[in-house]
Structures are given as C-alpha cells and as structure tokens.
Amino acid sequence: MNARILVTAIFFFMAGCSDSGDDSGFAGLAESVPSPSDNGGFLQPGPDVGISLPEDFGPHPRYRVEWWYLTANLVTPSGAPLGLQWTQFRQGFRPRDPAEAPEPDSWSLDAAWMAHAAVSWRDRHWFAERLARADTGAAGAEAAPLDIWLDDWELKAMSGTTWQLNVRSHKPAAAFRYDLTLTLRGKPVLHGQNGFSVKSDSGEGSMYFSLVDIDIRGTVTIEDNTIPVTGQGWFDREWSSQFLKRGQQGWDWFALHLDSGDKLMAFRLRGEDQTFVSGTWIPEEGSPQALGNEDLSLAILDSRDGYPVRWHIEVPGHNLDLQVAAPPGRYVNEGRFPYWESPVQVEGNRTGVGYMELTGY
C-alpha cells in the first residue's frame, strides 16, 4: 500500500467524524493512487463502462475513489454574489461487491468518507471538513432515491427533479449553514467518450457526468446572519481507480455558466513534462461536444498567494475568448492538502459566472 494512503487510512480510522481544518484532502489522495498495473483488485473505468442512471448516483465500491460535488453561483436580495461548495468523497481501501454486506462488528477499514463545505461572500471564505469510517452508518450514499450524507450534512432527493441540501458547520472560525432547494433542469451531460473522461495521453481516466442547469433557492447563514439566496448550480459526479497519473502534479478545473445560456467545462492536468487539457462545450441548444488539446487553451494571466487566479481561456471553434478571474480574497480550503475553490467572473467576448478549482500548488 502506498505510504501516504496508509497514513491517511490510519488517520481516517482514528478520526471517526469531525469538523476539522487540518485533515486529509482527496486532492492528495488522488495523486497517490497506484498505476493500473497495481490496482489492488479495483476496477478500472473505460469507455465501455458507460453511465447508467439513476444507479450511478450511488456508490461504486469496486472503484477506489469517487465524489459528489456541487458548486453554486448565488446572489442575495441586494444582488451581491455569494459562492457555495459542497463535496462528499469516498476512498476505498479494499474493493467490495456492492451486494456484499460488511462483517458484523468488524473494524476492518474497507473505505472512508469525507465531506467538504465552503461559503464565499464579501471577499471572505469559510470552510469546514468532516470525516467518517465506512459501515458505521455515519456516512453513506444511496442512488434511488438519492441520499448522500455524513452526519447531519445531507443531499437528499425530495422528488425526481427536486433535491434538498442541508449543511451545518459549528467550527468557531467557520460557523455557517445552508439550507437549499435544488430544482434539476435539462439532461445529464456525459463528458469525454460515453462518460469516460481521459486524464492523460496514455489513456487513464474517470467516469464523469454533470448536471449543469440547476435552479437553487434557500438560505445561507453566516455567523448568525441568515441570507436568502437564489441562483444556479453545477453538480459533478465522478469515480475512478486512478485519477492522476504518476508525474501529474495537480489540476485546474473550470465550470462556467455563460450569459448566452451556453456552458463550458474545462480542465488541465499539470505534469512534469507536459500538460493534458480537456473539456466539454455545452451549447444551450444542441448536443455537448468533447474538447481536446487542439480545441481548447488555458493560460495563466495573474496569480495570488501562489495560486493562478486569472486566466485566459480560448475555444476558437466556438468563438470563445474569455478572461476568467476570482474575486479579491483568499479562497483556499485549508485541509491537510490545501486547494483553491472559488467563484469566478467571466469577461471577454462572452460574460458569465462559474467556479474554479486549483489543486497541487
């Protein structure tokens, strides 16, 4: 077993569940997943796997790592922007058949769960993290009806097109909560080839789909100040047994809602020798189109606190020439493997809003 995964497994085992600002992050875990030739019995994704819904909203215990991930670009009644993130992760240490029940009273560590939550408002950023062992009932996921929880943090389906997200953080330095109703619109977007998103020139990748048109309404409470919010969300669902190839240092990811009604997902994986670029163009009308290195360019324009916070993104085939920038402030999720997670503003020959995630810096 890779040493970093072993250390993290022990940490997860001892931690149980907690609010913490200095715990393991899945950005670091993804970087330490073994190569396909050393997969430990876990399945490897590929274009022949396909996406099956609603089943693939549920957990995949035969794969090593997966997550459910929501970002939201919201506004207050005064029109002020407010950003929000919620992510739940599952890290497997032993593959298990979905029909296999855990051994009674077993303390074996087959998997661990972690959840992240953040709020970004008025150039400030609040972040919280929780952890749980698998098979204790403290955390889990179900596909139909959708239910993803870790303690009292929960994303749950109220109907086929309506979800409810409730998060509470009691950390003194990050006291916040949100209670949101999500209304799903449009069809799921499958990235890459039949939902298989390649992450390197040698073909490793993940299964990846998104819900990119979500209406959000509810309240966000920050330090006893409850704020009504409305806006739009982007939900990612991804799983794999190797996310980063050996030598890849981290990723830069963007999910953009353009005012034209079109959407863009773009990412680059930074390597020691080269950078791998990919994305999906999602027109308001028509079918999503996969983008490769020849279709898409991502260039850093400015940095802050060691993170690239302003970018030039071009998609010549769709006449996109964009400048994407984070607002003033520091938007680092301060776990053991810190990463940047912030709303962004889009300018250029299109305008809009979105979210940006930067790892490995």
Alpha helices for the chain (secondary structure H): 3-15, 26-31
Q: What is the pLDDT of residue 107?
A: 58
Question: pLDDT tens digit string along 170-205?
Answer: 877 678 999 999 999 999 999 999 999 988 877 788
CA–CA distance, 69 with 116 (Å, rounded to integer): 9
Single pTM value for the model:
0.88
Q: What is the pLDDT of residue 23?
A: 34
Question: pLDDT tens digit string along 11-55?
Answer: 444 333 334 333 333 444 444 344 444 567 889 999 999 999 999
**Exposure string (b/e) for 275-297, b if CB count within 10 Å is 16 or more?**
ebbbbbbbeeeeebeebeeebbe
% residues pLDDT > 70 (the chain): 84
CA–CA distance, 8 with 93 (Å, rounded to integer): 11
Q: Which fold has domain 3-358?
A: AttH-like fold (2.40.370)
Average pLDDT value for residue range 298-307: 96
- Residue in 254, 257, 330 with CA at minimum distance from that of residue 297: 254
Q: Are 189 and 51 in contact (CB under 8 A)?
A: no
Question: pLDDT tens digit string along 247-294?
Answer: 668 899 999 999 999 999 999 998 877 788 999 999 999 999 999 999
Which two three-digit tokens encode residue 125? Answer: 């950023």
